[in-house]
Chain A
Amino acid sequence: MSAGETTTRSDGRGAEGLGALAVRSIPGWLTVTIVPVVLLVLWETAGRAGILPTGLIPTPTMTVNAWYVWTFGPDTGGFNAYSGTWGGVVTNSAQRVVQGYVLAVLLAVPIGILIGWSSVVARLIDPTIQSLRPIPITAWLPFSIAMFGIKEYGAIFLICLGAFYPILINTTHGARSLDQNLLRAAMMMGASSRTILFRVVLPNALPAIFAGMRIGAGIAWSAVIVAELVAVKSGLGYVLWDAYYIGRMDVVVADMASIGFLGFLTDRLIIALEHRLVRWRHIR
């Protein structure tokens, strides 16, 4: 190899410099945990000191206890709905999310690629999609109940609808962001339209597709809760309302934490998948 040619990229240094400057002496894990730990301690102390009405706002330890019983407590055969039922409740919600979400990905990615690739397809379906998009999924609730009744399909419909738009829009954007020279390179090398679509446009759009999938997953979890609050009689959203009605605020907060945790887990899963499929974006 000739002089002046190296295998490393030149832009590898800048980011680290800033971080090191900020807090040099505190280890990374501590900087990350410091704020949540302080908040939890304040919350716990305020509850125990009687500043917070614990009947309305349970302390963190009360919440953890409630969650523990809810998850590991004996199955009382319906006598106590919040003993040993957590796994089943989570499974109910997660199944709906997975079904609606996968359906959304399967619809939004091909449609988004086609809209980005072909101006005819864009003119054909983009206006319809754009005019339906401002309707929030919460506004679709009555329609969805009317269509599907108090059934799984209503929840899956709402989840799919909510996740569909961000995935579609990001995919379209990704397909349109193809560098003109990459397209020209593919054409001069004799690639057919089909080959260009699958071997150039699609991989080029993958990072954008994943960006849309992450946003879509967040919306999917919101959608399942909304659907279960109103239209389906099971899952985390249903328990949320149900526990509130009988004054089990500790279960309500444990439920909220569970939703947050599952949303976080979903996001991590998508990131892991992205790192596998879009390895080229993360390598230097």
Chain B
Amino acid sequence: MLEENQQPMTENAIELSGVTKIFGGAKPVRALDDVALTVGKGQFVAIVGPSGCGKSTILNLVAGFEKATSGTVLVDGAPVGGPGPDRAVVFQEAALFPWLSVWENTVFSPKARGRPEREYKDKAKQFLSRVGLSEFHDHLPAQLSGGMKQRVGLARTLVMEPQLFLMDEPFGALDAQTRIDMQELLLSVWDELRRTVVFITHDVDEAILLADVVLVMSARPGRIRSRVPIDLPRPRSIDLITDPVFVALKREIFNQIRHEANIARLAAD
């Protein structure tokens, strides 16, 4: 503990080393092969890569939903046991409880953990208004659009005040305009909180716009192929995507993904 306190800047939020994940069954799938990666405290890391390369698998290992076949997965220096409220997850399909109102979904975590209402009520109200859903307090998920559901999915993780946010293509199913709204919302929320984020996407624009570092994964078996620092100033906005630096980064990342996709196609033939 003492050592950690003396060197807070070098401390890693996430550390994977030698991580291999094989899904058993009749035809075992080697989803990850000897993956090593580190995510610094307060860093926003985006992971991109061809479909099926193991992006979700990495996230699920960190979240504690899956166990690595071999290797170590450390969060704040401690091995991951199972899922827990220190690591909030935002799912692609929001995964709201359809029988609970927007409000009940938002406060699910503190309520489920038996916290007294006065402890979380005001905070939760603030977060709900922060994502623009104060007026939808009593609505049910079925009454919300995809974008609004995802806002609730974000609000309920903000209420948890976790060390770490894990987001698996959270805006992947949204239409273009809603997606841009959500990206800007996430950018401004992150500027306030500066918590560690691992953000998975197949949208390279989105990765560059949001992240401090973009990790490009190789086709199956998944590995981290390269690490591209995004040295764009913050606060950022969607206008950045026409910036020459942005465009150059995009070309670089695209080439790597295309290269990986070609390898995958050749391997499949």
Interface residues of chain A, those whose CB is within 8 Å of chain B, are 1-9, 179, 181-182, 184-192, 195, 199-200, 203-204, 206, 278, 280-281, 283-284
23 contacts between A and B (CB under 8 A): A2-B147, A2-B181, A4-B178, A5-B178, A7-B136, A9-B142, A181-B91, A182-B97, A184-B63, A184-B65, A186-B112, A187-B64, A188-B65, A188-B83, A188-B87, A189-B85, A189-B109, A189-B112, A189-B156, A190-B109, A190-B113, A192-B112, A281-B98
Number of interface residues of B (CB under 8 A): 38
**A185 B139 Cβ-Cβ under 8 A:** no
B3-62: which have CB < 8 Å to A? none
**A185 B98 Cβ-Cβ under 8 A:** no
B84 at the interface (CB under 8 A from A): yes
* A4-B178, A181-B93, A182-B97 known; A283+B148 contact, CB < 8 A: no
B78 at the interface (CB under 8 A from A): no
Other-chain residue from A4, A9, A186, A192 in contact with B175 (beta carbon distance below 8 A): A4
Minimal Cβ-Cβ distance residue in B for A206? B99
Instruction: Please indicate the chain B residues that have their CB under 8 angstroms from the CB of A190 in the complex.
Output: 84-85, 109, 112-113, 160
Instruction: Please indicate the chain B residues that have their CB under 8 angstroms from the CB of A199 in the complex.
Output: 112
Instruction: Please indicate the chain B residues that have their CB under 8 angstroms from the CB of A280 in the complex.
Output: 98-100, 140, 142
C-beta contact mask, B161-177 vs A, less than 8 Å → 1, else 0?
00000000000000101
Complex: how many Å from CA A162 to CA B87? 47
Minimal Cβ-Cβ distance residue in A for B109? A189
C-beta contact mask, B105-119 vs A, less than 8 Å → 1, else 0?
000110011000000
Minimal Cβ-Cβ distance residue in B for A2? B181
Complex: how many Å from CA A281 to CA B22? 39
Instruction: Please indicate the chain B residues that have their CB under 8 angstroms from the CB of A6 in the complex.
Output: 145
**A9 B143 Cβ-Cβ under 8 A:** yes
* A188-B84, A189-B112 known; A203+B97 contact, CB < 8 A: yes
Complex: how many Å from CA A65 to CA B183? 74
* A182-B97, A184-B83, A189-B160 known; A4+B177 contact, CB < 8 A: yes
**A191 B144 Cβ-Cβ under 8 A:** no
Complex: how many Å from CA A9 to CA B139? 13
Complex: how many Å from CA A25 to CA B36? 70
